Amino acid sequence: MTQVKKIGILTSGGDCSGLNSVIRNVVFAANSKGWEVVGIFDATDGLFSRPMRYRDLKVSDFDFPYAALGGTMLGTNNTGNPHIQKKADGTTEELTDEELNERFKEGVKELGISALIVVGGDGSMAIVSKYCKMAGISMIGIPKTIDNDAPGTDKAIGFATAVGVVTNALDNLTTTATSHNRIMIAEVMGRGAGHLALDAGVAGFADVILVPEIRYTYENVVAKLKEIQKKGKRFGLVVIAEGVKTPEGKHIFAANGKTFQGVSQYFVEHLQEEGFNVRANVLGHIQRAGVPVPSDRLLAARFATWAIDLIANGADNRVVVYQAGRVTDMDLNMVLKIANTPVDPNGALVKTARSLGIYVGEED
């Protein structure tokens, strides 16, 4: 068994709610073993930049309720190029692969850490794991994403809170929708996965839910909205995942040209032509915010303590996962072999939605 004295933690990829709860619980679980924790700023950038950017994390740091806030107190990065690093004077410098390797090794040595917890996606874990191997320390991953498509785990940190945020937004849109006899469209995040749209759509009593995993026809969207009007319903609620293609099979991109955004506007333009009174709302990054709900905090508690036990037992290259109601762990290489987990078109929630009369696309 390795003699652990000090461990590191970093957050990587898009932020979400619950990251601070993980950080807090890692610090408390490590502290009860008598270990010290250091938080690396801005994913791996804190280790690559000179001077390094990090902070010691102590139990007393959480006298302020960071753990109950969204975002990450360590900062993160989902676009960064590690080869370009900030210098103390604000300018940047370009580093080669070799220099990055050296800086990581040097950083780990200076901090005196024997393990690094990566709270992020499997892509980040894979990258950091290589550096850790080379520096001779272990890597333990904790999955987070509001998209809930992380391979190997039924639940990721941040998803439950995001479902709450979107459900709340749908409730709020409903009041205007019913007051004005309107069709309200909510466009939600999820890249290629529709979990957030599906869960929040059912929780928020939507009439139509479109996800990238299920084929739909524009005609049947219109038919559903006409049907609910005929039944005397004053409003319609449509939830569209950002990764849904237009009926012509095109993705709509945000101005950055990388992330999806704007498919709801396509529907507004076309539904208006059909005579509907319709508005679109792109919920955007508020979906990654909010006070973490208790189930995310509980997941953070279970994942953090599991990660600390893994380190105590000398494990390396493992990812903490939640499967069929239990927390366990998997080898990172196994996780990387599994594709991201999309919505199952024949899954229980899709069936529930159909039983409720929600149009969720075609039954193939």
The catalytic residue positions are 147
The whole-angstrom separation of Cα 279 and Cα 183 is 7
Which of 168, 220, 259, 265 binds ligand F6P (CB under 6 A)? It is: 259
Q: Minimal distance in Å, beta carbon 217 to ligand F6P?
A: 25
Letters for 9-38 (x = contact with ligand F6P by CB under 6 A, - = none) are -----x------------------------
Distance CA 179, CA 234 (A): 8
Contact, 160 vs 199, CB < 8 A?
Answer: no
Longest Cα pair distance anywhere in the chain, in angstroms? 70
Instruction: Rank residues 17 and 85 by Cβ distance to ligand F6P and give the closer one.
Output: 17
**DSSP of 242-305, one letter per residue?**
TTPPPTTS---B-TTSSSB--HHHHHHHHHHHTT--EEEEE-GGGGG-SPPPHHHHHHHHHHHH
d(CA 355, CA 349): 10
Verify binding: residue 147, ligand F6P, rule CB under 6 A: yes
* 159-188 residues labelled b (16+ CB within 10 A) or e (exposed): bbbbbbbbbebbeebbeebeeeebbbbbbb
Give the shortest CB-55-to-ligand F6P separation in angstroms: 23
Distance of closest approach, residue 163 Cβ to ligand F6P, in angstroms: 13
- DSSP E strands, 41-195: 54-57, 84-86, 92-94, 115-120, 138-143, 183-188
78, 168, 174, 220: residue in contact with ligand F6P (rule CB under 6 A): 78
The b-or-e profile of 68-77 (16+ CB within 10 A means b, else e) is: ebbbbbbbbb
Q: Which of 190, 201, 212, 361 binds ligand F6P (CB under 6 A)?
A: 190
Q: Does 168 bind ligand F6P (CB under 6 A)?
A: no
State how far the Cα of 187 lies from the Cα of 252, in Å rounded to an integer. 12
Does the footprint of ligand F6P cover residue 189 (CB under 6 A)? yes
Residue 195 near ligand F6P by CB under 6 A: no
Give me the residue whose beta carbon is nearest to ligand F6P: 189
For 194, the token pair is 């529709």
In the complex, minimum distance from the CB of residue 47 to ligand F6P, in angstroms, rounded to a whole number? 22
Q: Is 120 in the site for ligand F6P (CB under 6 A)?
A: no
> Is 20 strand, coil or helix?
helix
Shortest spacing between CB 276 and ligand F6P, in angstroms: 27
- Listed ranges 87-95, 108-116, 144-152, 318-326: which one lies at the site for ligand F6P (CB under 6 A): 144-152
150 vs 293, beta carbon nearer ligand F6P: 150
Which one, 38 or 283, has the nearer CB to ligand F6P? Answer: 283
Give the closest residue to 78 by CA, choosing from 50, 48, 42.
42
Residues that contact ligand F6P, how many (by CB under 6 A)? 12
CB of 282 to ligand F6P, least distance (A): 11
Question: Are 101 and 134 contacting, i.e. CB atoms less than 8 angstroms apart?
Answer: yes
Taking the complex as a whole, how short is the minimal distance between the CB of residue 76 and ligand F6P, in angstroms? Answer: 10
Report the C-alpha gap between 320 and 302 in whole angstroms.
9
Q: Which of 103, 144, 182, 191 binds ligand F6P (CB under 6 A)?
A: 191
Question: Site mask, ligand F6P, residues 269-308, x = CB under 6 A?
Answer: -------------------x--------------------
Under 8 Å between Cβ of 155 and 299: yes
Binding stretches for ligand F6P (CB under 6 A):
14, 78, 145-147, 189-191, 242, 259-260, 288
